[in-house]
């Protein structure tokens, strides 16, 4: 298997080699790597809920009551009342009729999209969609038509150009995972309606983040009830501080997914500790909207500091701030220099982002202190000036 060595060498030559950083300890937004404590600016724990004592305790209780695993697919013997309780709560949170929880967000995308469209159907996919959405579209074997990022006119043109009676699905994200900008949900929903298309909205990063009460895109855009042609997807593993994915939809769609989404049918039910942790996290979000406020003030503070040092933080105030450096090598170097200054931000390179757009992808959390955010800005300024 000499070829593996060659492949790895090739990856390394392009400064694209990836390795697993070992986190030795974790305390809120601080992590210990190679015996050093660092401020973590690349976690998706936007509300600081993963280490909340109530969330941890809920997980522990569920472990004792239900065991460490669901031990079977939901359809066999792994469907606990706890799963149904979470689904009910998520449906209420997103104002949909029903919800179906999957083992991860990745699997929710694979399973749902493959169930929604098949051979000869059409998918209209935003060019910046997450890898899990791209994989899901490929797996579905539908014809995939990629449209320029959030370009509503281009999308409309492409919809107009197809003469097909088959199903049409527009796939977009709420907050784009690598650029941090917010979707044009309202406009896209209108265009979809006009052309009889369904809309699949991945709210991995907008759940718990957008809207006054963190309900996501619809709340943010003031859309009171989810349109009938909309399928909402989200993950429990970001702002909810747990693990697992979900689809919020109609009761009928839920029945359909239970019967057709292969990643749901052929995978063990989500483990009880994660289910209970997510349930508790939802409670905390409902009871403490000030967490969302704290996240917002951290975002505003970080954006102001970055602007001061000449870094443009992107169009929308979201917790994802890309600092695009372009080359792979310079981005790696920036990440390493920040590490030396006690700041942990990963270098994001292709294929996570397009060629020549490598970046530091900064993510903010309600758990960050203003002091940590100032240190981040100072470290970035020093790197910037040294270039």
- Per CB under 6 A, residues contacting ligand PLP are 104-106, 109, 130, 132, 173, 177, 202, 204-205, 235, 237, 245
Q: What whole-number distance in Å separates Cα of residue 320 and Cα of residue 302?
A: 11
320 beta partners: 363
State the minimum distance, in angstroms, from the CB of residue 202 to ligand PLP: 5
* Among 59, 94, 46, CA closest to 275: 59
**Smaller CB distance to ligand PLP: residue 134 or 309?**
134
Long-range CB pairs of 58-64, under 8 A, 24+ apart, other chains included? 58/276, 58/277, 58/279, 58/280, 59/242, 59/273, 59/274, 59/276, 59/277, 59/280, 60/273, 61/276, 62/272, 62/273, 62/275, 62/276, 62/277, 63/272, 63/273
Q: What whole-number distance in Å separates Cα of residue 11 and Cα of residue 258?
A: 40
State the minimum distance, in angstroms, from the CB of residue 173 to ligand PLP: 5
**Smaller CB distance to ligand PLP: residue 245 or 272?**
245
Q: How far is CA 216 from CA 182, 249, 275, in A?
A: 11, 15, 20
**Smaller CB distance to ligand PLP: residue 201 or 305?**
201
Give just the sign of the alpha carbon dihedral 68, 204, 169, 129.
negative
Q: What whole-number distance in Å separates Cα of residue 356 and Cα of residue 88?
A: 44
Q: What whole-number distance in Å separates Cα of residue 368 and Cα of residue 370?
A: 7
State the minimum distance, in angstroms, from the CB of residue 321 to ligand PLP: 15
Tokens linked to 298: 């951290």
**Smaller CB distance to ligand PLP: residue 48 or 383?**
48
Rounded-to-10 torsion of CA 66, 68, 74, 79: 10
**Smaller CB distance to ligand PLP: residue 273 or 305?**
273
**Smaller CB distance to ligand PLP: residue 105 or 211?**
105
CB-closest chain residue to ligand PLP: 105
State the minimum distance, in angstroms, from the CB of residue 344 to ligand PLP: 18
Give the DSSP letter of residue 175: B
φ, ψ for residue 114 (rounded to 5)?
-65, -30
State the minimum distance, in angstroms, from the CB of residue 235 to ligand PLP: 4
State the minimum distance, in angstroms, from the CB of residue 88 to ligand PLP: 20
State the minimum distance, in angstroms, from the CB of residue 126 to ligand PLP: 11
**Smaller CB distance to ligand PLP: residue 33 or 134?**
134
**Smaller CB distance to ligand PLP: residue 107 or 332?**
107
Rg (CA), the chain: 21
Q: How many CA atoms lie within 13 A of 111 on its CB side?
A: 27
**Smaller CB distance to ligand PLP: residue 320 or 380?**
320
Q: What whole-number distance in Å separates Cα of residue 225 and Cα of residue 94?
A: 9
Check: CB of residue 323 under 8 Å from CB of residue 180: no
Q: What whole-number distance in Å separates Cα of residue 342 and Cα of residue 347?
A: 15
State the minimum distance, in angstroms, from the CB of residue 172 to ligand PLP: 10
**Smaller CB distance to ligand PLP: residue 226 or 245?**
245
Rounded-to-10 torsion of CA 25, 28, 31, 32: -40
Q: What whole-number distance in Å separates Cα of residue 387 and Cα of residue 100?
A: 49
State the minimum distance, in angstroms, from the CB of residue 74 to ligand PLP: 17
State the minimum distance, in angstroms, from the CB of residue 212 to ligand PLP: 22
């Amino acid at each position: 298997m000499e070829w593996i060595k060659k492949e790895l060498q090739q990856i390394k030559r392009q400064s694209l080699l990836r390795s697993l950083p070992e986190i030795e300890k974790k305390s809120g937004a601080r992590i210990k790597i190679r015996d050093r404590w660092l401020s973590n600016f690349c976690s998706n724990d936007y509300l600081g809920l993963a280490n909340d004592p109530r969330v941890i305790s809920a997980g522990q209780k569920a472990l004792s009551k239900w065991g460490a695993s669901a031990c079977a697919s939901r359809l066999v013997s792994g469907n606990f009342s706890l799963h149904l309780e979470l689904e009910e709560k998520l449906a209420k949170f997103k104002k949909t009729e029903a919800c179906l929880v999957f083992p991860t967000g990745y699997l929710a995308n694979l399973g749902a999209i493959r169930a929604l469209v098949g051979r000869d159907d059409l998918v209209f996919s935003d060019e910046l969609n997450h890898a899990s959405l791209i994989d899901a579209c490929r797996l579905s074997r539908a014809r995939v038509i990629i449209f320029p990022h959030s370009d509503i006119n281009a999308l409309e043109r492409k919809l107009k150009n197809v003469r097909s009676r088959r199903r049409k699905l527009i796939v977009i994200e709420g907050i784009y995972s690598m650029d941090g900008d917010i979707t044009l949900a309202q406009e896209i929903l209108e265009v979809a309606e006009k052309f009889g298309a369904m809309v699949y909205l991945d709210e991995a990063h907008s759940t718990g983040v957008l809207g006054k009460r963190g309900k996501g895109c619809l709340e943010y855009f003031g859309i009171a009830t989810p349109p009938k042609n909309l399928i909402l997807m989200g993950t429990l593993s970001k702002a909810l501080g747990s693990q697992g994915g979900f689809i919020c939809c109609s009761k009928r769609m839920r029945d359909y997914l239970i019967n057709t989404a292969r990643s749901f049918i052929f995978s063990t039910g989500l483990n009880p500790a994660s289910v209970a942790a997510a349930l508790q996290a939802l409670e905390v979000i409902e009871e403490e909207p000030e967490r969302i406020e704290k996240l917002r003030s951290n975002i505003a503070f970080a954006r102001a500091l970055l602007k001061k040092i000449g870094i443009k933080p992107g169009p929308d105030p979201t917790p994802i701030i890309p600092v695009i450096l372009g080359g792979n090598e310079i981005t790696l170097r920036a990440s390493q220099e920040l590490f030396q200054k006690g700041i942990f931000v990963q270098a994001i390179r292709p294929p996570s982002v397009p060629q020549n757009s490598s970046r530091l992808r900064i993510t903010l959390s309600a758990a960050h202190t203003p002091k940590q955010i100032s240190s981040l800005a100072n470290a970035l300024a020093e790197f910037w000036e040294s270039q």
